[in-house]
Amino acid sequence: MLYYFGRFLFWLVFKFVFRLKVSGGDNIPSAGPALVCANHQSFIDPPVVGAAMRRPIHFMARHDLFTVPVLGWLIARTNAFPVKRTGAGDTAAFKNVFRLLEKGELLLLFPEGTRSRDGNLQKPSAGAGLIAYQARVPVIPCYVSGSRDILPRGSKFIKLHPLKVYFGPPVDLDACYGREKNKELYQEISARIMAGIAELKEKATHEN
């Protein structure tokens, strides 16, 4: 219940203060599991993507955010779950990912892993490719335009700027599924996902 209330409030703010527009929303499956893979420029990206779609979506958040008073309590009740930034990976977080997908949920991933400092797309980590390979669910590319102008990395002040969220058709990964599992394959899958995001960014650039 808190998730839907929070999403509605965010939608009101993004729509009427930041003039949120959504393109390609029909690419989000109406039911069943899927990965929504987006670029990452700002702390506001998760609620922006969540507000841009009708279905609820789950996402990973840095584990130390859950210890922040009020914020930790809030995000834990709005479909976020913790992930540790460790070289060895976070087994508990990965188990949670697949548990949610098995239940038919939507999951938001940021293949870049961290927020871009200059707004350019970064090289993705292999983690998104690993999840996509293991899950075998539709992978929907997403590009968020304007979030960096509102709250860039390192800034403590919000600025007014229009927001637009683009969703593309599922990334074609069929040629990858029959191959031997290794880090190189996972990196290639992540690169294919980022290519889908890059196409949406190009579309956004031509519209502005």
Q: What is the pLDDT along the chain (208 residues), one digit of tens a residue?
A: 678 888 888 899 999 999 999 999 999 999 999 999 999 999 899 999 999 999 999 988 777 777 777 666 767 777 888 777 654 467 888 888 999 999 999 999 999 988 999 999 999 999 999 999 999 999 999 999 999 999 998 888 899 999 999 999 999 999 998 888 899 999 999 999 999 999 999 999 888 6
pLDDT digits (tens, 9 = 90+) for 96-120: 899 999 999 999 999 998 899 999 9
Looking at this protein, which amino acid is placed at residue 131?
Answer: I
Could you give the CA distance from residue 31 to residue 24 in angstroms, rounded to a whole number?
16
pLDDT digits (tens, 9 = 90+) for 14-29: 999 999 999 999 999 9
62 backbone dihedrals φ, ψ, rounded to 5°: -50, 130
- Cβ atoms 21, 48 nearer than 8 A: no
Name the residue among 190, 51, 52, 23 with its Cα closest to residue 121.
190
pTM for the model stands at 0.92
Distances 97 to 34, 80, 102, 193, 203 between C-alpha atoms, Å: 11, 11, 9, 18, 30
Domain at 2-207, CATH homologous superfamily: Glycerol-3-phosphate (1)-acyltransferase (3.40.1130.10)
